[in-house]
């Protein structure tokens, strides 16, 4: 955004709603992108507790806010407050992006796009292979949709602290996407290392290892990995998590969460502005902005 247009009558407002929200890197990412493209937009964080969600979404229309990212804990509850939902939202059951189209609010899930962009370069290795997914929350839903929609693995192992949640996820996607080859495991009561070693792709969809708990990892030894594997951690702060360090020690290919984060943001940016985010420059800026953890 150039200095002459900053905060004038033509400024388009975008932002992110969640609770809490103060640690989000989305404002930094989008405002840098607006500046790089000289767009008269601004991106603001809005801390919205669940009790105020309905009022906040009404305010989006009332104040002419062009677009919002939606994060925890609102990704599911926001669906009843918008006019239209995209195909991926209808299947995943959660949205992370809203576009205000002349008063009509349309919901999308660009997390799915972020996962796809991260994994598509490895499609040949993933298709018809075994995948292990750790976690059964909202992020896991986006991961499963992306896998089944574009990559078609042979089997998906769902590993979670609460196996009932994993079973529910299995039944949900078996019905929604007609994929029956799931196997569920309790994280604390399964041959964890053996399951991982038999997988071509391993994905951590939990927040374990996220700053400030950087010494935590869902896997505790590099012996769980092989050099033929791909290991993807959706956590992006730190960029290189303990999990990825262990995988690297075994020679595995590692994928950090920053790629997913930037590409989900880029898709939202495009939906709001009609323009492509300069992702290469955004990657560089974020890598400098997110302090490396020693």
Distance CA(104)–CA(278), nearest Å, equals 28
Phi, psi angle pair for 280, to nearest 5°: -60, -45
75 flagged as catalytic = yes
Catalytic-labelled residue, pool 66, 75, 240, 267: 75
Distance CA(48)–CA(205), nearest Å, equals 24
Nearest residue to 111 (alpha-carbon basis) of 150, 143, 80: 143
Nearest residue to 33 (alpha-carbon basis) of 289, 283, 287: 283
Q: Enumerate the H helices of the chain as residue ranges.
A: 26-36, 53-62, 87-92, 110-119, 123-126, 138-146, 163-177, 192-197, 242-249, 257-273, 279-289
Distance CA(93)–CA(109), nearest Å, equals 9
Rama region for 43: left / alpha / beta (φ>0; ψ in -120 to 50; rest): beta
Distance CA(139)–CA(142), nearest Å, equals 5
Distance CA(7)–CA(90), nearest Å, equals 36
What is the secondary structure of 148-197 as a DSSP string?
IIII--SEEEEEESSHHHHHHHHHHHHHHH----EEEEETTSS-HHHHHH
Distance CA(66)–CA(86), nearest Å, equals 17
For the chain, how big is the Rg over CA atoms in Å? 19
Packing angle of the helix pair 257-273, 26-36 (nearest 10 deg): 50
* Active-site residue set: 75
């Amino acid at each position: 955004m150039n200095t002459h247009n900053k905060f004038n009558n033509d400024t388009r407002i975008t932002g992110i709603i969640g609770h809490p929200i103060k640690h989000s890197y989305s404002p930094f990412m989008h405002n840098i992108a607006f500046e790089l493209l000289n767009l008269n937009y601004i991106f603001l964080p809005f801390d919205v507790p669940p009790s105020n969600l309905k009022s906040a979404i009404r305010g989006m229309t009332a104040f002419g806010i062009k677009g919002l990212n939606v994060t925890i804990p609102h990704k599911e509850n926001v669906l009843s407050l918008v006019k239209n939902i995209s195909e991926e939202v209808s299947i995943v059951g959660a949205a992370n992006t809203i576009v205000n189209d002349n008063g009509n609010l349309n919901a999308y899930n660009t997390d799915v796009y972020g996962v796809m962009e991260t994994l598509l370069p490895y499609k040949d290795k993933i298709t018809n292979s075994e995948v292990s997914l750790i976690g059964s929350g909202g992020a896991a839903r986006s991961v499963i949709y992306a896998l089944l929609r574009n990559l078609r693995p042979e089997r998906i192992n769902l590993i979670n602290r609460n196996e009932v949640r994993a079973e529910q996820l299995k039944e949900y996607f078996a019905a929604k996407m007609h994929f029956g080859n799931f196997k569920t495991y309790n994280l604390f009561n399964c041959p964890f290392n053996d399951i991982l070693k038999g997988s071509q792709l391993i994905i951590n969809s939990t927040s374990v290892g996220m700053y400030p708990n950087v010494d935590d990892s869902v896997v505790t030894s590099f012996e769980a990995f092989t050099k033929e594997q791909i290991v993807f951690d959706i956590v992006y702060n730190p960029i290189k998590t303990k999990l990825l360090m262990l995988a690297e020690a075994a020679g595995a290919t590692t994928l950090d969460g920053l790629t997913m984060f930037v590409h989900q943001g880029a898709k939202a940016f495009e939906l709001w502005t009609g323009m492509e985010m300069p992702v290469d420059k955004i990657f560089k800026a974020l890598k400098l902005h997110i302090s490396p953890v020693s």
